[in-house]
Amino acid sequence: MSGFEARSARTSTTGALLVLEDGRTFHGEAYGAEGETFGEAVFNTGMTGYQETLTDPSYHRQVVVMTAPHIGNTGVNDEDPESKRIWVAGYVVREPARVPSNWRSRRSLDDELKAQGVVGISGIDTRALTRHLRERGAMRVGISTLETDPAKLLEKVKASAEMSGANLSEAVSTAEAYVVPAQGEKRFTVAALDLGIKDMTPQRMSERGIEVHVLPATASIDDVLAVRPDGLFFSNGPGDPAATTGQVELLRQALERDLPYFGICFGNQLFGRALGFGTYKLKYGHRGINQPVMDLTTRKVEVTAHNHGFAVDAPIDAPTETPYGTATVSHVCLNDDVVEGLELRVSTGSTTEVGKLKAFSVQYHPEAAAGPHDAAYLFDRFTTLLEENA
């Protein structure tokens, strides 16, 4: 739809109010659905990919502030969503498009937000809000087109749920297991635990000849083994890894059985916990598609897509012995030295000799939707791991 016919949806000048839990208030205009919403305020610095961001289950219960001022320019198409619905709890933009323009566009973003009941706000100083979150850290927020009194909205914000301690994967996970068939000749079977999986992830595996059995977050080790997997995969997803115990236990059981493992994002944090590391909440998280990460095994820098508010607390400079083998930090973010990847190898008992790879995970998004494709090699690494253990 390069259509001019969609124009005008933006004639509404209904006011909207945004209040942070520390009391900072912004006045703007309603965007998307009218109503009231609460969540954790986070900012995303991507200049492209709003459709993928909105439909990323990891944003469940988060109110996303877009730092790029123009949002909605390419409308909404049917190919780019990363799941079946918009997951963000609220959406904050500066300049929504009035006319979407792209050959694949089917409808305007404004209409899509309305149709899915997503409350948003536009026309506010998103840079000021971002700076505030950067300085004070992620915090709860409320957006309302109903409440005009900031003090009253603030009360509601303070009464809303916190992100720390929240176990959310089960809320976003698929209810039923389903299979994404391998493209071309089937080479491997992988059990993928859906903790908030993005559609591009099984897609990337399937492109490499992997049949992906996507399982609900509540799956047991028996459910996993029932698909006779060559490997196990844990997806990204929302919530506090420290509040997630069942899946950590599942992962430990898999590691005990030497099942090759690959994890992304939340799957990295749970891998860390399974190996005995702690996790902690970052001040304001990494959310964007321009983050420099170094693969410590090759010293190459890749520009990567991130969406994480928590991180693994593991020593970067030395390996750690765990009951499952030797764990090392494989990737770090060059901006702030946050752990971005873990590797588990067979223990050799030597400091010079490196054991065989058993499992690995990254904190960022090699499936890259949205984002650069620099880290796509990790899916190849997973395929190689499956091959070696076949």
Minimal distance in Å, beta carbon 128 to other proteins? 4
Select the residue interacting with other proteins from 97, 113, 250, 270 (CB under 8 A): 97
> Per rule CB under 8 A, is residue 301 in the interface with other proteins?
yes
Our answer to whether residue 367 is catalytic in this structure is yes
Closer residue to other proteins (CB): 130 or 383: 130
Question: Is 137 within 8 Å of 41 (Cβ atoms)?
Answer: no
Catalytic residue among 40, 265, 331, 333: 265
- Return the residue matching tokens 């995303």: 44
C-alpha span between 207 and 369 (Å, rounded): 15
> Per rule CB under 8 A, is residue 294 in the interface with other proteins?
yes
Minimal distance in Å, beta carbon 359 to other proteins? 27
Our answer to whether residue 365 is catalytic in this structure is yes
C-alpha to C-alpha distances, 52 to 47, 101, 120, nearest whole angstrom: 12, 17, 17
C-alpha span between 216 and 104 (Å, rounded): 32
> Per rule CB under 8 A, is residue 99 in the interface with other proteins?
yes
Minimal distance in Å, beta carbon 126 to other proteins? 7
**Is 236 labeled as ligand-binding?**
no
SS3 assignment, position 279? strand
Select the residue interacting with other proteins from 340, 371, 381, 386 (CB under 8 A): 371
Strands in the chain per DSSP E: 15-20, 25-32, 36-44, 62-66, 70-71, 90-92, 95-96, 119-122, 139-144, 178-180, 188-193, 210-215, 231-234, 261-264, 278-295, 300-313, 320-322, 325-333, 339-345, 357-362
C-alpha span between 97 and 44 (Å, rounded): 18
C-alpha span between 283 and 35 (Å, rounded): 29
How many chain residues interact with other proteins (CB under 8 A)?
59
Choose the stretch contacting other proteins; rule: CB under 8 A; options: 41-49, 167-175, 215-223, 264-272.
41-49
The type of residue at 33 is A
SS3 assignment, position 341? strand
> Per rule CB under 8 A, is residue 370 in the interface with other proteins?
yes
Catalytic residue among 60, 213, 306, 365: 365
> Per rule CB under 8 A, is residue 202 in the interface with other proteins?
no
> Per rule CB under 8 A, is residue 283 in the interface with other proteins?
no
SS3 assignment, position 128? helix
The residues assigned a catalytic role are 265, 365, 367
Binding residue ranges for L-glutamine:
58, 237, 239, 266, 269, 307, 309-310
Residues lying near other proteins in the complex (CB under 8 A): 2-4, 7, 26, 43, 45-49, 51-52, 67-70, 73-74, 77, 79-80, 94-95, 97-104, 124-128, 130-131, 134, 288-292, 294, 299-301, 303, 334-336, 368-373
